[in-house]
A = this chain, B = another copy of it.
Amino acid sequence: MDYPKSPRNTVKRIPKRGHYDEATVFSILDAGFLCHLGFVVDGQPYVIPTSYGRKGARLYIHGASTSRMLKVTETGIPVCLTVTHVDALVLARSAFHHSMNYRSAVVFGTAELVTDEDEKMDALFCISENILKGRWDEVRPPNAIEMKATSVLAIDIEEASAKIRTGPPGDDAEDYDLPVWAGLLPVKKGYEEAVPDPLLKEGIEMGHSVADWK
């Protein structure tokens, strides 16, 4: 499925890097867990980092019921949710052709409060699974008080686009003769060794979610 191209989601700068198919957008969303959510209050843009989960074409974010981000968006206001992975610095021979290898997804939709208790719990599961698969089943689930203190917003993807750059630097023909090193500096991914909580009681084994995250 392709998202229709509109003035809103069409990649204008270097159009060949633009992608409009759902599979590409989903793959970028599923490879991350932190998005930057944009919303507008009285003409002022706000961009707030938050975690998210995806179920089909519906995205979920959550937070404290008291947070500004959730208060202003629960009324059903337009949001832009962006996920970016920087894969490498692209080091060219000229300053101008320096770039990054990246995958970004920009999603447009309307954020609405999830009021159904079952969907709300399922959304929290989704978000948790997207951050660290399997962790949810290893820990104490939310109780009624915690559920009340938590708000969940759903964002159905109305329009989206992805932008991707891969590969080595692309220099101007005459610059390949310059005595300048060129190439990629790939960004490290993943996690270091897990660090136990100082208050962890003896004899408690690391769950599979942590031990097997790769």
Contacts and interface: CB of A to CB of B under 8 A. Distances in A.
Given A49-B102, A94-B146, A182-B196, 17 more contacts: A13-B68, A36-B49, A46-B106, A48-B106, A49-B84, A95-B124, A95-B128, A95-B136, A95-B140, A96-B142, A98-B131, A98-B139, A140-B178, A180-B204, A181-B210, A184-B197, A185-B213
Given A204-B181, A206-B181, A94 B140 contact: yes
A28 to B, nearest CB: 12
Interface of A: 8, 12-14, 34, 36-40, 43-49, 51, 63-64, 66-68, 78-82, 84, 86, 88-89, 91-96, 98, 100, 102, 104, 106, 108, 124, 128, 131-132, 135-136, 138-143, 146, 149-150, 168-169, 175-201, 204-207, 210, 213
A87 B183 CA distance: 27
Q: Is the interface of A mostly helix, strand, loop or mixed?
A: mixed
Contacts of A93: 139-140
Contacts of A46: 38, 80, 106
B213 A197 contact: no
17 contacts: A40-B43, A43-B78, A47-B81, A47-B82, A48-B82, A49-B102, A91-B132, A95-B141, A140-B175, A180-B207, A181-B210, A182-B199, A183-B197, A184-B195, A185-B192, A186-B193, A188-B192
